[in-house]
């Protein structure tokens, strides 16, 4: 919980403000999960501070929410290409995914309660004015997708016309495919060196 709280603060996820009269303050809760290795053994304990997005009000707390995810057929095609050409495949997981979303638009104002166990003793009645997206917000996946897609474009990737969660990199004989499903990433490339280069940039 301490690690998660420190990550939230380090990312300037919110700033404490007096509770505005009539504001919709979204409640939150701690979620505890186990992360496992591929062999089923326990890798680590993970904690998330999430907000209860079901209490957000449309056109007040959020507007656009749609975020694309990669299609199962696309995953099968890319993996079969990688297998038939014996290309390396790597899976990536982004820590604190939604904290990397763009700063929130000025027209979207969301407030949430302070996390249980970490109430500011000097401002216990203040609420968190969100500056970044949090797990549970209806618009959080969209903000993350837009941020990551923009980053991949800077690396030279292009979103596929048939599936916008498939990103393709081509440079002469070098080719790489990146599949994005929220915070899960599958990356395959024509060479191990290219794969490692892209993975280190991500």
Cα separation, 22 vs 20, in Å, equals 6
Question: What pLDDT is recorded for position 144?
Answer: 78
Residue partners of 85: CB distance under 8 A and separation at least 6: 190
| pTM to 2 decimal places | 0.63
Question: What pLDDT is recorded for position 36?
Answer: 87
Question: What pLDDT is recorded for position 86?
Answer: 94
Question: What pLDDT is recorded for position 65?
Answer: 54
Taking the chain (202 residues) in runs of 10, the rounded mean pLDDT of each run is: 91 91 88 88 89 66 64 94 94 67 59 94 93 77 81 93 93 93 89 91 77
Question: What pLDDT is recorded for position 96?
Answer: 58
pLDDT in tens, 53-92: 766 666 555 555 556 788 999 999 999 999 999 999 999 8
Question: What pLDDT is recorded for position 31?
Answer: 93
* 147 to 110, 151, 186: CA distances (angstroms): 19, 6, 18
Report the candidate in 97, 96, 129, 92 with the shortest Cα–Cα distance to residue 114: 129
What domain range is 125 assigned to? 2-201
Question: What pLDDT is recorded for position 199?
Answer: 87
Question: What pLDDT is recorded for position 102?
Answer: 53
Tally of domains within the chain: 1
């Amino acid at each position: 919980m301490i690690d998660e709280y420190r990550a939230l603060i380090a990312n300037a996820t919110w700033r404490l403000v007096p509770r505005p009269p009539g504001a919709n303050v979204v409640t939150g809760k701690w979620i505890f999960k186990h992360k496992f290795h591929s062999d089923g053994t326990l890798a680590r304990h993970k904690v998330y501070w999430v907000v209860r997005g079901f209490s957000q009000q449309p056109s007040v707390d959020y507007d656009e929410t749609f975020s694309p995810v990669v299609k199962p057929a696309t995953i099968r095609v890319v993996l079969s290409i990688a297998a038939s050409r014996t290309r390396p495949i790597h899976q990536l997981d982004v820590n604190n995914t939604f904290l990397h979303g763009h700063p929130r638009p000025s027209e979207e104002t969301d407030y949430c309660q302070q996390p249980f166990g970490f109430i500011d003793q000097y401002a216990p009645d203040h609420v968190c004015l969100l500056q970044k997206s949090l797990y549970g917000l209806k618009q959080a996946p969209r903000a993350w997708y837009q941020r990551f897609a923009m980053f991949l474009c800077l690396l030279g990737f292009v979103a596929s016309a048939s599936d916008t969660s498939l990103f393709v990199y081509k440079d002469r004989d070098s080719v790489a495919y990146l599949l994005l499903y929220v915070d899960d990433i599958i990356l395959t490339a024509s060479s191990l060196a290219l794969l490692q280069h892209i993975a280190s940039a991500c």
